[in-house]
Structure 1
Amino acid sequence: MIGVAQRIFSFLVLLGIIIFAFAHSLHLLLRPITDYSYNQPNYNNDVNNPWNLVTRYKSITPDGAIGNDFLIETPDANTNLFSAFKTAIVAVYFMLTGDLSSVSSWNLNENWTLVALLVIFSFFTTIYLLNLFIGLLSTAIENTNNDESFLQLKREILSEIELFWMLPYQRRRKDWFPEIIYYEATIEELQKYVQKIQSENCDESSKPFIFPHIYKIAKLDAKTIDEKLNDLDGKFQDLIEDIKRLKSEN
């Protein structure tokens, strides 16, 4: 799982930046611009005032006429989550899952800026980035979930146990730590292993050493790709020099 997290870390950073950006934009757009109190009703022209966002119930007369406001819900801290930046981040995070209840109190017909932000957010995050994240995560798990990764992790754990948890006399036991360890592998498996080591871009000190006779068994060239390219470049330069020499002689 550590390898998977390392592969998708940059994507998670990008997703976090987008969440912070949209949370900041919605906070600036939907925060109240006037003072208010949850304990004292305050109705004004501020459409983002929590008292103007709560549900109102009206009475209906027997003849079907709609009367004045009969009941009004009392607002609380969850009425307008965008009044504070920290709660705006939480609201935008839940919007990733399609939960738009945090913006349901606003009339979208009168706030086209909010509509535009919601459309952009839903496209670039909910539709595009989340599907991309699922694809990257599945690819990372597929590449990491193999026998070589398991053996590498096992090697690291055993090395830590041998270095820090065992006593000196335990490390000298031949039945625990034999001088020679044999591995069985087919020619195809050996070729894949050698080619993978040659293609890895890592320091020479950390790259496993392969004896020349292993290359002979695997029927591979001991030279790396860079060395082969350097040889080809040298031959190409020699060919150019020969062509120049022939032209000068003619």
Structure 2
Amino acid sequence: MLPHQRRKNNWFPEIIFYRFNINKLRDIINKIQNNNWDDTTEMPFLSDKLLELVDKKKIDDTNIFDNTQKLKDSEEKLIQKLEENEKKLIQKLEENEKKLIQKLEDNEKITLELKNILKKTD
């Protein structure tokens, strides 16, 4: 390759990004660290930064799992509280309904009595 071709940044950028599954990367790192490297190529070098990043990701995964468990627990507690509140509200509504019905009956009695009194006076 000619020198002017090597300098073309659009052909060879300074930073190259790769996509790789972190779980596969962990498996490969475990193989390398346990001397189970079965590939025909030479065993690759693992930088400290890479190992640190993979460990951080692993810790983050466990933290995420713990957080989801906490969220599930809190959700269950909230659901229980909501159900209790719903029961209390239903009871209060039933009591109020009974009171209103009683008041209506009393009002009907009073109106009947008033009608009777009015009839007698006429």
Shorter-chain TM band: 0.3 to 0.5
Higher percent of residues as helix: 2
Q: Normalising by structure 1, what TM-score?
A: 0.21
Q: Normalising by structure 2, what TM-score?
A: 0.39
Higher percent of residues as strand: 1
